[in-house]
């Protein structure tokens, strides 16, 4: 059986999180220290990545951090979307 909820999986109900406030503080400091470097790496991959997949993934990560992840509509059939035409123009 793969995926989905499984009996007995996960942290038992009522048990406490084992991470301490000190651990959380250290992780936050590490994130702050390396945040700029991580963003620089994402920009580098987005602009000079070897594959299209790597560039698209890095660009998506940057957009998610800049604008937030797009919201998911639970019932998309109720949304009133109008079609958009996107025209690609080749420059010579």
* pLDDT tens for each residue of 59-74: 999 999 888 887 776 6
User: pLDDT, tens digit, for every residue of 21-44?
Assistant: 899 899 888 888 888 898 899 999
- Whole-prediction pTM value? 0.50
Q: What is the DSSP string of 48-65?
A: H-SSHHHHHHHHHHHHHH
Structure token pair of residue 26 = 């250290």
Phi, psi dihedrals of residue 60, rounded to the nearest 5°: -60, -40
Q: How far apart are the C-alpha atoms of 82 and 41, rounded to whole Å?
A: 37
Q: Where are the domains of the chain?
A: 22-71
Confidence grade of residue 77 (pLDDT, cut at 50, 70, 90): low
């Amino acid at each position: 059986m793969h995926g989905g909820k499984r009996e007995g999986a996960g942290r038992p109900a009522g048990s406490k999180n084992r991470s301490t406030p000190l651990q959380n503080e250290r992780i936050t400091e590490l994130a702050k220290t390396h945040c700029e470097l991580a963003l620089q790496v994402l920009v580098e991959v987005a602009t000079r990545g070897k594959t299209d997949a790597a560039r698209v993934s890095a660009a998506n990560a940057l957009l998610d951090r800049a604008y937030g992840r797009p919201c998911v509509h639970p019932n998309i059939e109720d949304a009133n979307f109008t079609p958009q035409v996107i025209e690609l123009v080749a420059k010579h």
